[in-house]
Amino acid sequence: MSDFKRSMSLTGEPPKALTVQQKIAVLIGMFGLGILLLSLTSINFPNKALWLITSLVSITVGIIWFSSAAYLDKSEGIKNDGVWFKSISSRGLLGWLAGIAMTGFYVVLYFYPQFLGLQGEGKDNVGVIGLFDPLSKALSGNPASQWFVYGTLYTVAILAFGIKFIWKYRHNRYEKIRTMSVMFFQTAFAFLIPEFMARLNSDSFSLPYYDLKNIWPLNYSNFEQYRVDSFISAGTVGTALLIFGVISIFVITPILTYKYGKRWYCSWVCGCGGLAETAGDAFRQLSDKRKSAWNIERWVIHSVVVFVVLMTTAVVYTYLGYDPNKYWLTRNVFLIGVAVILTLVFAGVMIFKRKQLAKDAKYGAIGYFVIILALIGFHYFSNTESVFLLKAEKLRSSYGFLIGAVFSGVVGTGFYPILGNRVWCRFGCPMAAILGFQQRLFSRFRITTNGGQCISCGNCSTYCEMGIDVRSYAQKGENIVRSSCVGCGICSAVCPRGVLKLENDTPAGRINSKDVLLGNDVDLMEFVNRKV
């Protein structure tokens, strides 16, 4: 970054400037944002519903108009012209300002919602949260919270930038369909359905706010006491939802990942992925491709999985203790169950898939496995109230603060313009790590490379949001089977030579290693393959 030149231009003028239409579009969008900002001050808008609609519509129209001016007068095809000359998308001043503004927004949202106008129980909201009250009441019947404000803006962002994405990649049907899918899941599953479900709640019947597509461990609080109690007390519907939550983890996700790779979730369904793909698309080229970044990624993301497993085990363990006679699931059964499942997974991988793991991955897996079992064993044979040497509540709150708030929110989204759009998915998401593990070892999914056609231009690596050095595989003609790949398909889209294709095929021959370019003489290929 330090030796980064904005442009080699001697005039110092970026060769890309905004058109008149785009300037007007920015004005309209900023007007909408301005209303939200003004609502934070003491101004009390008289007709909140009208001002809210004006604001959201202006923001949406601004984004859509800007995008239409950017793409629709050009021919279909990849148009990344000037991406590295524009301040916003090349870590220039605008990029840093956007990053700081978004990070600031997240800090306030997570830790100081009172600044947004949240008044707490019984009092009327003011500020921007107050502005959203009419919409929230219309949907769920309840006043808005900071999460409702966030959810609404999130959905607006995915819808408006989703349209931008579809126009930008309109020559590519995979990208269009995939984007419609994330737009749908965000609007329906993450936004509207939970609000409507909340409307069903009464004094005798209450379900927790539940986004059905949000699966543990991404949804790390799904098995906390208040939620489980609430599910169970809601009778058949609640119990069904609870069972669905468990089945999603152990049955649905492994099957879908086996068939299609983790992309079915990460770039077709997931909300975090949805925002990254749509609003974050302008920043995908900023992900770090160095090998050092990859090493950090593998250790950090897998540590988060271990952390979330320990934390959830500890939390569930604690409340099971309150009434051991009520359920068949006692503390002991639960702990032994966790140990057995982890052992089975670990043993299965080490026995059947050992050869596919790199040395450091093997050591890491063994290390973490020993730590978890030791903690469980240690606890089992000692009679202490605190689980895993720490209090469950302490673990939960640390996870919630460090991973749930700081990592996934503040860093994950706030740093889009600095570290790229999938920072969270790449370095922090435990769900991505688990699905990635399944994808790497048990899936039919791979990216195939087209014989000897690669010219090593590097478009694929540059535009990989997960920081995978796609080119290093493509120039060898080797299939790409990586746990971090979210299957966004952009590498295939930006390739000027048609070298990359996302495929689901039989597991045999998925991992190939070719040392000699296809098209070279057959004898030489045989020779080198024999040597290996």
Partner 1 sequence: MQHTIIIGNGISGVTAARHIRKLSDQQITIISDETDFFFSRTALMYVYMGHMKFEHTQPYENWFWEKNRIDLKKGRVTGVDATSREVILKSGDRLSYTSLIIAVGSKPNKFGWPGQDLEGTLGMYHKQDLEKLEKYAPTNKVCKRAVIVGGGLIGIELAEMLRTRDIEVTFLVREDSFWNGVLPAGESEMINEHIRSHHIDLRLGVNLKQIIDDGSGRVKAIEIAETGEIIDCEVVGLTAGVSPNIDFLKGSELELGRGVKVNRFLETNLPNVYAIGDCAEQHEGIGLRRPIEAVWYTGRMMGETVAQTICGNRIEYKPGHWFNSAKFLDIEYQTYGWVFAKPQAYESQFHWMHPDRTKCITVSYNHDTNEFLGINTFGIRMRHEVFDRWLTENMDVDYVIKHLKEANFDPEFYKTYESDIIKTFSQQETLLT
- Which stretches of the chain bind partner 1, using CB under 8 A? 4-5, 7-11, 13, 15-16, 75-78, 80-86, 171-174, 177, 285, 290-291, 450-453, 455-459, 461-462, 471-472, 475, 489, 492-493, 496-498, 501-503, 516-524, 527
CA distance 304 to 311: 10
- C-beta closer to partner 1: residue 359 or 531: 531
**Are 75 and 489 a contacting pair, CB within 8 Å?**
no
Q: Which run of H or of E encompasses 10?
A: none
Q: What is the 3-state secondary structure (H, E, C) of 80-145?
A: CCCCCCCCCCCCCHHHHHHHHHHHHHHHHHHHCHHHHCCCCCCCCCCHHHHHHHHHHHHHCCCCCC
- C-beta closer to partner 1: residue 344 or 524: 524
- C-beta closer to partner 1: residue 76 or 124: 76
- C-beta closer to partner 1: residue 186 or 459: 459
Q: Which run of H or of E encompasses 377?
A: helix 359-381
Task: Say what the alpha-carbon torsion angle 520, 526, 530, 532 is, to the nearest 10 degrees.
Answer: 20
CB of 101 to partner 1, least distance (A): 24
CB of 169 to partner 1, least distance (A): 11
CB of 514 to partner 1, least distance (A): 10
- C-beta closer to partner 1: residue 47 or 512: 512
CA distance 311 to 334: 14
CB of 360 to partner 1, least distance (A): 17
Q: What is the 3-state secondary structure (H, E, C) of 281-292?
A: HHHHHHCCCCHH
CB of 277 to partner 1, least distance (A): 16
* Cα three-residue angle 95-99-103, rounded to 5 degrees: 175
CB of 290 to partner 1, least distance (A): 6
CA distance 244 to 92: 46
The type of residue at 445 is F
CB of 280 to partner 1, least distance (A): 18
- C-beta closer to partner 1: residue 2 or 204: 2
Q: Mapping DSSP to helix (H, G, I), strand (E, B) and coil, where does residue 60 land?
A: helix
Q: What is the 3-state secondary structure (H, E, C) of 385-430?
A: CCHHHCCHHHHHHHHHHHHHHHHHHHHHHHCHHHHCCCHHHHHHCH
- C-beta closer to partner 1: residue 285 or 318: 285
CB of 326 to partner 1, least distance (A): 49
Q: Residue with structure tokens 């986004």?
A: 211
Distance of CA 178 to the CA centre of its chain: 15
**Reduced to 3 DSSP states, what percent helix, strand and coil does the chain have, rounded to the nearest 5?**
65, 0, 35
- C-beta closer to partner 1: residue 123 or 530: 530
Tokens standing for residue 180: 């419609």
- C-beta closer to partner 1: residue 6 or 391: 6
CB of 496 to partner 1, least distance (A): 4
CB of 517 to partner 1, least distance (A): 6
**Cis amide linkage into residue 134, ω under 30° from 0:** no
CB of 449 to partner 1, least distance (A): 9
- C-beta closer to partner 1: residue 337 or 498: 498
- C-beta closer to partner 1: residue 85 or 189: 85
CB of 518 to partner 1, least distance (A): 6
- C-beta closer to partner 1: residue 235 or 496: 496
Tokens standing for residue 402: 């460090």
**Are 312 and 223 a contacting pair, CB within 8 Å?**
yes
- C-beta closer to partner 1: residue 341 or 528: 528
CA distance 89 to 431: 28
* Cα three-residue angle 419-280-185, rounded to 5 degrees: 130
CB of 13 to partner 1, least distance (A): 6
CA distance 278 to 169: 11
